[in-house]
A and B are shown apart, each in its own frame.
Chain A
Amino acid sequence: MIRIANASKVFTARDGNSVHALSDIDLSIDENEFVSLVGPSGCGKSTLLRLVAGLMPSTSGSIDIDAVPVTEPRRDTAMVFQSPTLLPWASIEDNVLFPLKVMNVLDPTSRGRAHELLSLVGLAGFERKFPRELSGGMQQRAAICRALIHDPSIMLMDEPFGALDALTREEMSLELMRIWTDHPRTILFVTHSIPEAVLLSDRVVVMSPRPGRIADILDVSLPRPRTFAMEGDPAFQATAQKIRNLIFERHD
C-alpha cells in the first residue's frame, strides 16, 4: 500500500525562483489497485510518480510504501517511461534481463522467465533481435517485460503509451489490462488520455496545475473485464465528462 501524506515538491530554478510542482498531495493506493493520474501538462503528475519511485525526495510531507518511508528506489517498484528506453546495443532478451544484471540477481532461471514474459506480450521469437529492428509498440512491450522481470509489486508508468499511434495505443491498453488481470499488482499510471484512464483504472486522480494538486479523485465503477466497446456506456461517458470538466474549468 502506498501512502502519500501532505507531500509537496518545490523546485528551485537556476535564477533562484522556486516552482511549486506539487502542493499538499494526499493519496492512498491499495495493494493491486490500478490508479491513473490525469491532468494537463505541468500539473506535477510525473513528479508525483518520481517521488513514489524514490528518484527524488519530497520537499515536505511523507511517502510510505508498506509503512516504510521511501528514501531511494525500492526493489519492489519498477518504472516504465514514455520512450521505451531500451539499450540500443543489447538484444531484446538482454534488455529484459538488464534489471537482474545490475541488481546482481541473475540466475539460470532468469532467461526462461524473460522468454515467458516476452511470449506473454507476443514477442516470442524476437529475443535475439535488437531494439532498432522492432516497431515502437513492440519496443514498449519489451520495456514492460523489463519492468516485470523482477516481479515488482508496484509498477509506476509515466505515459507509457504516449508516444504510440492511436491504434497501437488501444491495443497496448487492452494488453496491459490483460497482464494486470492475470498477474495483479499495484499500478500507478500517468496519462494524458482521459478514455485510457477511465478504461484502465479503478480510480482516476485528476490533477490541476500551478501548483500541482489533486482536483478530485473519481471511482470508476465499470465492471471488469473492460473493452473499448464500453466507451459508449453512459457510466463511461459520465466519468470521462466529469474528468474533462475538472480539467478544463481550471483553464477558463
Chain B
Amino acid sequence: MTEVAPTTTKPTSRSAWFRGFSQEVLMPTAVLLGLVGIWEASVHIFEIPVYLLPAPSQIWVECSAMSNVILKHTLATLHTVLIGFFVSILISIPLAVVLTSSRGIATAIYPVLVITQAVPKVALAPLLVIILGANEIPRVVITFLVAFFPLVIASATGLMSVPHELIELGRSYRISLWQELIRIRLPYAVPMIFSGLKVAITLSVVGAVVGEFVNADKGLGFLIVSASAFFQVPVAFGALVILSLMGVVLFQIVVVIERIFFPWSAESAGNSFM
C-alpha cells in the first residue's frame, strides 16, 4: 500500500488565517464601504435633491426615526417569503421525483410547468387577489410561482444525474424503488437541490415583493409603494436596502445549512461556486 490519500491543506498559521480573513471579509467590506462613501459624497458635491437620490446618511436618519414601523413591515415580508419558500420546497421536490419517475408523466406535466413560468406573475397577481381574497394567500402563491420552477428543474436534474452504475448497484441487491429513491437518488441529488434552493430563496424575496405591490397593507413592498406615493424617498430606499439584505442573509443561511448538514455536498466539485 504505497498510495497516499489526497489531503486537503488547511491554512494553519496565523498569517495564512489573516490572509484568508482579509480576502473573504476585509476586502469585500472595504469595497462596499467605499461605494457607500462615494454615494454619500456625490449627493453632497452635486447637490442632488433628496427626492431623486437621498444620501445614505439621510436614509439612515429617516429610517431609524420610524424603526418600529419598518421592523413590522420587514417581519411581514419575511413571513411571506418563508412560507412561499417552504411551500416551494414541499411541492417542488416531490414534483421532481414524479417528473423523473417516468417519461410519460414528464411529457404530460412539463408543458404545464413551462406555461406557469411563461405567465407574467405581475399580471397574474391582481387576478389571484380576486380569486383568493385580499389576504396573504395570493402573496404566498405568487412567491411560490416565482420561486418553485428553478427548484423543480434543479432537483429533477440532480435525480437524473445519478450514474447508471449506482442504480445497477442498488438493483443488484434487489432494493425497492422506494429504497432506491431514499438511499441513492435523493442523496445524490442533494448538491443540485441546494443550488436550486439558493436560487429559490432569492426569488422568494422577489415574489413576495411583487405580491405586496399588488395587494398588501403591510410588508416592505407595500412600504416602498406608499412611501414613494408620499415622496418619502429615503424610506423607500431604506426598504430597498433591507430587502437586499434579507435576500443576502437568507441566501447565506441556505449556504450554511448545506455546509453543516451536507458537508460532502458543499465540497462536491460541481458546486464550487458559492
Contacts and interface: CB of A to CB of B under 8 A. Distances in A.
A103 B173 CA distance: 7
A242 interface: no
B264 to A, nearest CB: 5
A133 B5 contact: yes
Interface residues of A, number: 32
B190 interface: yes
Given A85-B163, A89-B187, A89-B264, A138 B3 contact: yes
Chain B binding surface SS class: helix
Range class of the B interface residue count: 20 to 34
Nearest to B187: A89
B262 interface: yes
Interface stretch (A5-13, A71-79, A106-114, A209-217): A71-79
Chain A binding surface SS class: loop
A83 B165 contact: yes
A132 interface: yes
A88 interface: yes
Contacts, number: 69
A111 B60 CA distance: 61
A230 interface: no
B253 to A, nearest CB: 21
Contacts of B102: none
B107 interface: no
Contacts of B184: 87
A98 B184 CA distance: 11
A69 interface: no
| 8 tightest Cβ-Cβ pairs between the two chains A and B | A122-B1, A81-B165, A102-B175, A79-B172, A73-B172, A85-B165, A89-B264, A102-B173
Interface of B: 1, 3-8, 163, 165-166, 168-175, 179, 183-184, 187-188, 190, 262, 264-265, 267-268
10 contacts: A73-B174, A79-B172, A83-B163, A83-B165, A85-B169, A87-B166, A87-B188, A103-B174, A134-B6, A135-B3
